[in-house]
Amino acid sequence: MEEHAEKIKNAQINNVLGLFVLFFGIVVLIAVVFTDTTIGKQTNTVAGLILSGIGVGMFLKARKVLRKDGST
């Protein structure tokens, strides 16, 4: 039972952390518009896509665990 509660707690933390990383990735992608140099735009685009991908992955995996265990 204790292991189950810890699994749910970790999933909830990853859920929130995934949303934060996704939000930060979106902010970096928006920053592309305000970047002057081409290399800066490329760097922000790649970094924003990577951060957004990691955030979405964390969020989806956490949601899967929470749904499987019957908690939301």
User: Which two three-digit tokens encode residue 3?
Assistant: 């292991």
Burial of residue 64 (CB within 10 Å: 0-12, 13-18, 19+) is exposed
pLDDT for 13: 94
pLDDT for 71: 53
Residues found in the chain: 72
Entry pTM = 0.85
pLDDT for 69: 78
pLDDT for 70: 61
pLDDT for 2: 84
pLDDT in tens, 14-37: 999 999 999 999 999 999 999 999
Residue 5 has pLDDT above 70, yes or no: yes
